[in-house]
Amino acid sequence: MLQAPTDSDPRTNVDFAVNGKRFSLERADVERALSSVEPEEVRQYGVEVAGRVYPVKQALAAATGLARTEFQSMTARQQLGRLGLHLVTVEPAATATASTPTERAENSPPVSSPPVSADPHGWPWEGHVQGLFASHLVRSGWVLDEIADTATKAHGVDVLAHTDGRRLGAEVKGWPSRNYADPRRNAETKPTQPTLQAGHWFSQAIMKALMLLDSHPGRESLAVLPDFPRYRDLAHRTTTGLHRAGVHVVFVREDGSVASDTWQA
């Protein structure tokens, strides 16, 4: 098990929003909500509260009243970590060598950077790209205000964040898969080639980034995409228009690094 706080400056309370719902949460709220709740099995991400380790989504859901389908584990880790609660990550290989999540956490070295969102869809699924970009922002000193749950196709801006004197909004897209996400059609191959579909997704990302300039005035507007040659080519061919509109294209790589010709964190 690895352990990693998501914020180097723990706070007594945090204010955040999930899918348009705003919350102000104190550490005592989490402890109180879980005081009579038995921890469920921690399959990957956990948080230690009053000496017991809970799945992070169980903890945040209990403290806020949110349904677990309304947010990703990355959101729970970010907000619970900001409260200074001890976060742990269970690694499958560690299961046989330690009896409890707490024991595994105590025997593992600290990790200095926020954990990357691990999603079953994997790279370069939209939710995974979103998680990598959000982690990059946190490492660069940004505070995440709101993250839309891409797994449930939640409405709203994919990422809203701020730092000293700056605010941003980001529309995130992944890379089209060859197969359908619906398990009933997973064995089928899509008739549309990924490179063609990527062109449509690029257009959607830019359109939403343009709309963000009006819906969230004063924020830097970003279109965040996985670093693929097709997306690079489309960004290059729209350089002048994007510059005049004030929209920045940001590329995320599988290792979590970020690149852009016009924007930096």
What domains appear along the chain, each with residue ranges and CATH number? 2-106 (no CATH), 126-259 (3.40.1350.10)
Least confident of 30-44, 97-111, 135-149, 186-200: 97-111
Given a cut of 50, is residue 117 above it in pLDDT? no
- Put simply, whether the predicted model's pTM sits higher than 0.95 gets the answer no
Task: Find all residues with CB under 8 Å of 145, minimum gap 6, and list them.
Answer: 16, 17, 160, 161, 162
SS3 content of the chain, % helix, strand, coil (to 5): 40, 25, 40
Confidence of residue 182 (pLDDT cuts 50, 70, 90): low
The string of pLDDT tens digits covering residues 26-48 is: 999 999 999 989 999 888 888 99
pLDDT for 89 equals 80
Residue type (1 letter), 116: V
Q: Does the CA dihedral 226-230-236-242 come out positive or negative?
A: negative
The string of pLDDT tens digits covering residues 54-64 is: 999 999 999 99
User: Exposed/middle/buried for 158, CB within 10 Å: 0-12, 13-18, 19+?
Assistant: buried
